[in-house]
Structure 1
Amino acid sequence: MAHRPSKKTRKTVLSIGGIAVLAGLNAPAALGFAEEQYYEYKIAQPAYKARYGSWSQLDIPKEFRTNAIHAALLHTGKVLIVAGSGNEIKKFDKGSFDTVLWDPRKNTFKKIPTPDDFFCSGHAQLPDGRLLVAGGTARYERLDGEVERAGGGMRVKNEDPDKAMVLKKGTRFRSPAGVEYVSKFEVTIPRAKRTQEITYNRAGVMQPWKTKVTASEARVFVEATEKGPLSVTDKQAQYEIVGLKGKDGANTYGISEKITLDKQDFQGIRAAYEFDPRAEKYIPVDPMAKARWYPTLVGLDDGRVLAVSGLDDVGVIDPGDNEIYDPETKQWTPGPKRYFPTYPALFLTQGGKLFYPASNAGYGPADKGREAGLWDLESNTFRKVPGLRDADATETSASLLLPPAQDQKVMILGGGGVGESRKSTPRTAVVDLKKDNPVFEDGPDLPQGTRYLNSVIMPDDSVFTTNGAKDYRGRSASNIHKAQFYDPKSNTFRAAAAPRVGRNYHSEALLLPDGRVVTFGSDPLFDDQQNTKLGHFEQRMEVFTPPALHKNGKNRPVLGDGPEELDRQHRATFATDHPERVAKARLMRPSAVTHTTDVEQRSIDLKVDKDRSSVTVQVPRDPSLVPPGWYMLFVTDADGTPSEAKWIQVP
């Protein structure tokens, strides 16, 4: 059965009985005051912080508080926080779209003019340090019972080979019976295709060239001008375009698809932009061929970006019409066809194949596109990888390419059932892609079933995992106020300090250049255990300081002057007063994360040479291991204490 999870929920009435239950639940609160005081004392102790780390909240001026739907670390060290309309239909209707740029070093904020609704778009790092942002929201969903005017797709034909047609938003289409529909978006219909055909008579003699014209086509979502069921139709018919006269009117017309009063899903946009970290603004580039809402963008080994999946311009999940963006030409071309549920996690592996661990963020049938496997883009073949326990609970899971990337191991953590299912799993699993026949093997369980877990690769090769919820969008106060570190070598978890702010759907976490982790967002359905108080978007930000920075933060390794580019031998040398303290070096790609999906982050082990006053790192030349772009260089000491990062661009 196809799944269409709702961003909204029905309001419920708080009865007198419900009030009594709430009062009963709140009664013991005072009894826990002494325990709370002791807990605050305990987590403030230096020994505790040195073992578990600590959390702090940022002081965000009111005008910069926003619904963090997407977050990306830029090579300037600043963090781009993208909301778009932020799952607020009032903002969408007003055309009020938000982006905030946060400078972690100075703790300053800046609003960025946002030209389109990037709510539920996709994004990827480009080789020159710009961030590609593509897709977003064209229209909010309408649930069953909310649809008053029939709506659906209208295929618009153009038979003129000499002229493209642009139909503005609000164009009317009229059926032979006089029923009218109005387009909700502007649409461009390309020129018809003109071809020359050669024909022969019975004697085999070539005849004069014959011209053939094939109509072009584009699709647009339309809505009936009149309310009610009389405008519903499941039959194809030809519609005239009101206002078009003469040749234009004869050559351009509509062909209706199914137009109903059924629930209408979110619809995507084709728009694409590059965010320039230096100019701090969005720059438009050619739009995608397909509209996409909830797409994944993944960087390839040649610097191009593959866009997959998403809901299209009429709210239907893309059938597999993927496309590739070239940052040199700023244009899109068709990619290999393959279907995925929305926001699939796709990781670039050595050799250039993409690995899909079955992690995704929803939308799509439960029995299609849910199996893990290796996707060869050149041959467009997909080799399934078995062994995943709780394979029906991969939606809203976390996944990542484990550090170091040379090991070619991918991990999946938690997840839940399709859509608004109450099911969640504590399962983790790891697959070694270097094996001839890779198979998932169980890892250690999470403390409990967890959806929306955020997982961040740390400079010491551990993985910091935090937050999440046991139920769909934190229902029944099911947010999990826990964090832990995963050690890939020992395949074990160890506890970390607990976050104060609960986070579930629409939350993110990423590594900062100073070695800390920042968490954003959360979009619960309800704010109470009884599911009676409608939820609100979490706009607070928390920063986690790992134990090593409490233990050795004042004596961490330091990298001095050095280049921002590699030399011809793919090396870079940095001054340091204490090269003997440098035990390891890691090149870490900055995150671009949304809906717990972060296919950008990876950590590469570097060869280190030392002399009396400097360290030299050697970067592998394999672009499928180290895709072109900007990276953070961290060095760590024998205790895993990280330096602050230096930025290096890899060609």
Structure 2
Amino acid sequence: MAAAASASTGLILPSLHVLLLLTSVSLTRAQLPGTWEVLVEDAGIASMHTAVTRFGTVVLLDRTDIGPSRLPLPKGHCRRDPTDRALPVGDCTAHSALLDPATRRLRPLSILTDTWCSSGQFLPDGTLLQSGGDLDGFRKLRTISPCSLDDRSPCDWLELPSPLLAAGRWYATNQILPDGSVVVVGGRAAPSVEFYPPDRPLRPFPFLAAASDPQMDNLYPFVHLLPDGHLFVFANARSVLYDPDSGDVLLEYPVLDGGPRNYPSAGSSAMLPLDPADGYARAEVVVCGGAQYGAFLHRDVDMPAGVTCGRLVATDTDPAWAMEEMPFPRIMGDMVMLPTGEVLIINGAQAGSQGFELASRPCLNPVLYRPNEPDGLRFMTLTPTEISRMYHSTANLLPDGRVLVAGSNPHYFYRFEGEFPTELRVEAFSPEYLSPDKASLRPGIEAAPDKVGYGEGFELEIEVALPVVGVVEANLLSAPFATHSFSQGQRMVRLSVSPPVDVASGGGDGAPYRYRIVCTAPPNGRVAPPGYYMAFAVNQGVPSAARWVQLAL
């Protein structure tokens, strides 16, 4: 039905996509690109917030004050909060966990204050900073210094006694800045910004108040750090260029057509890769999906979601939105940057809005957005999952190139019966570049530095089964904090690379070919803030597994 409606409105799609949409009942999963697997049958918690650490482990985080989870805490680690509405006498179950996707092992973590609809960002040393939430977590800051599950001294959450946030932050967004500090933007009834460390005062941000309306579509604003050091901030259907140093709004962008996009209207956004070919001067932002205005206000779970994406060069002197249409309407979709520079749009629903039990018609098919293809040929429909991922689901890129999908709990408490039950399974989606027929092209990074400085040259040594033809790309991808359909701090930076130089030639004995490429690190923290990045080598569109590299000031 949705495909027919799109066709009637003049949507231009590749003939393959039209065929897929019109004959979807006869398609099998094997006929579409990509594969799915369940990594964990029962993680014990539904991950509302998810982040991948430099150890390759994954922090899963839900909220407290919802009753017991299915993951017990170690003996003696119970949380006791007399104000807890569900378990005032004590909660001995975990609401956070550390997952190793390689071994599928899981370790419970202790979280003490409520992290409902909170925000987060990795600091330059790899520590995950987590901010805000509800109730006793409203003004709290927490950290976890990640570890491997094999570490004898296991890592866990640390609740910081001070400082407290200057304002309560519920539904806020975090972004690391060029100097390694973090800006915390907005939140419910908080049209302001503040910083961590708190060496700058809280600043009013009237734009967020102006972007609000009765259904609160200024929450979880989309924030992207541009390569000039300014912030692109999007809320509702409006966006501005914001100077985090002075607090000035430098530019107001045109309004994006198609209705509201932020919580609770549940669109998503990504910044496309920054490229040395233009001196890292051009930054392009994509905003996709969202609910129709009124779906949240009227609790209309059947109102069709938006189908449009807007694309804008945020660094242009006269920017304008270019509009495109996705193969499916979608709310609560996660936009995950892949190491190829393509964007995976995954999770969510085709009707309703964000909120408890306010959506219907799960969107099971991921979509690949290929930004360098001609307009009208950019979207590719991928293999569907069999698991509905509705409100409070997440998606994150793993260092091996897969995408980890977790969460989905569209109910106030955990509920394991009825439509769209609380989902404790964790899946991994493997894009087509991981298919067996691409294995001979997939490079492996055999040597890489642990740390590089801005503008420095450094070497990667790679191995591949077949001789390299052309240039091997090297790309840095950040590890964002994914929640509520937006990956806070997500970033991809392409590197300048030299042509590959033979180190060792493969041969008939099955030995791989070995090459050295010289890369140049990003020039400054405006292009790539300090911290740990996944470094990928990409050979003819097929990425390696990543090596973690720290970009240091």
TM above 0.5: yes
Instruction: Flag the 1:332–1:288 CA change in 2: closer, same or farther, 3 A.
Output: farther
The reply to whether residue 43 of structure 1 matches residue 32 of structure 2 is no
- 8 Å CA contact 2:256–2:321 kept in 1: the answer is yes
Instruction: Flag the 1:92–1:345 CA change in 2: closer, same or farther, 3 A.
Output: farther
- 8 Å CA contact 2:39–2:101 kept in 1: the answer is no
Q: CA deviation at 1:386?
A: 0.6
Is the deviation greater in 450-459 or in 466-475? 466-475
Structure 1 letter corresponding to 2:256: L
Deviations along 1:366-421, one digit per CA (max 9) or x if unpaired, are: xxxx5212112233232211151114354311101012464400000001136345
CA distance in 1, matches of 2:48, 2:297: 19
Tell me what 2:128 maps to: 131
The reply to whether residue 612 of structure 1 matches residue 502 of structure 2 is yes
1:12-411 alignment to 2 at 5 Å? 42-44=28-30, 48=31, 52-60=33-41, 62=42, 64-85=43-64, 87=66, 91=86, 93=88, 96=91, 98-138=95-135, 269-278=138-147, 280-285=155-160, 286-311=163-188, 317-320=189-192, 322-326=193-197, 331=198, 333-339=200-206, 340=208, 341-358=218-235, 370-382=237-249, 383-394=251-262, 395-404=265-274, 406=280, 407-411=282-286
Tell me what 1:487 maps to: 370
Q: CA deviation at 1:446?
A: 1.6
Q: CA deviation at 1:523?
A: 2.5
SS of 1:560's equivalent?
Answer: strand
Structure 2 letter corresponding to 1:392: P
Instruction: Flag the 1:355–1:86 CA change in 2: closer, same or farther, 3 A.
Output: farther
Q: CA deviation at 1:447?
A: 2.4
SS of 1:58's equivalent?
Answer: strand
Instruction: Flag the 1:90–1:580 CA change in 2: closer, same or farther, 3 A.
Output: same
SS of 2:487's equivalent?
Answer: coil
SS of 1:438's equivalent?
Answer: coil
Instruction: Flag the 1:616–1:86 CA change in 2: closer, same or farther, 3 A.
Output: farther
Tell me what 1:537 maps to: 422
Q: CA deviation at 1:494?
A: 1.0
Structure 2 letter corresponding to 1:650: L
CA distance in 2, matches of 1:414, 1:72: 23
Structure 2 letter corresponding to 1:587: L
- 8 Å CA contact 2:335–2:346 kept in 1: the answer is yes
Instruction: Flag the 1:545–1:350 CA change in 2: closer, same or farther, 3 A.
Output: same
Deviations along 1:46-91, one digit per CA (max 9) or x if unpaired, are: xx4xx6011111233x4x4202110011111111000132755765
- 8 Å CA contact 2:166–2:202 kept in 1: the answer is no
Alignment length, in residue pairs? 454
Deviations along 1:440-459, one digit per CA (max 9) or x if unpaired, are: 1112x122331101111111
CA distance in 1, matches of 2:260, 2:429: 32
Aligned identity (percent) is 26
Tell me what 1:441 maps to: 322
Tell me what 2:343 maps to: 463
Q: 526, 530, 533: which one pairs with 1:628?
A: 530
CA distance in 2, matches of 1:563, 1:389: 45
Tell me what 1:598 maps to: 487
- 8 Å CA contact 1:287–1:332 kept in 2: the answer is no
Instruction: Flag the 1:420–1:79 CA change in 2: closer, same or farther, 3 A.
Output: farther
Instruction: Flag the 1:434–1:37 CA change in 2: closer, same or farther, 3 A.
Output: closer
Instruction: Flag the 1:573–1:447 CA change in 2: closer, same or farther, 3 A.
Output: same
* Off by >6 Å, runs of 4+ in structure 1: 35-38
Instruction: Flag the 1:390–1:38 CA change in 2: closer, same or farther, 3 A.
Output: closer
Instruction: Flag the 1:547–1:629 CA change in 2: closer, same or farther, 3 A.
Output: same
The reply to whether residue 413 of structure 1 matches residue 288 of structure 2 is yes
- 8 Å CA contact 2:533–2:549 kept in 1: the answer is yes
Tell me what 2:15 maps to: none
Structure 1 letter corresponding to 2:523: R
CA distance in 2, matches of 1:476, 1:296: 23
1:517-532 alignment to 2 at 5 Å? 517-524=403-410
1:574-589 alignment to 2 at 5 Å? 574-578=460-464, 580=468, 583-589=472-478
CA distance in 2, matches of 1:404, 1:510: 20
Instruction: Flag the 1:67–1:567 CA change in 2: closer, same or farther, 3 A.
Output: closer
CA distance in 2, matches of 1:525, 1:479: 15
- 8 Å CA contact 1:506–1:594 kept in 2: the answer is yes
TM-score, normalised via structure 1 length: 0.65
CA distance in 1, matches of 2:25, 2:267: 35
Q: CA deviation at 1:616?
A: 2.0
TM-score, normalised via structure 2 length: 0.76
- 8 Å CA contact 2:335–2:486 kept in 1: the answer is no
Q: 557, 562, 566: which one pairs with 2:452?
A: 566
SS of 2:451's equivalent?
Answer: coil
Q: List runs of 5+ in structure 2 lacking aligned partners.
A: 1-22, 68-83, 148-153, 209-217, 504-515
Q: CA deviation at 1:525?
A: 5.3
Structure 2 letter corresponding to 1:116: T
Q: CA deviation at 1:37?
A: 12
Backbone CA RMSD of aligned residues: 2.7
Tell me what 1:26 maps to: none
Structure 2 letter corresponding to 1:463: V
Tell me what 1:205 maps to: none
Instruction: Flag the 1:37–1:110 CA change in 2: closer, same or farther, 3 A.
Output: farther
Instruction: Flag the 1:273–1:121 CA change in 2: closer, same or farther, 3 A.
Output: same
SS of 2:368's equivalent?
Answer: strand
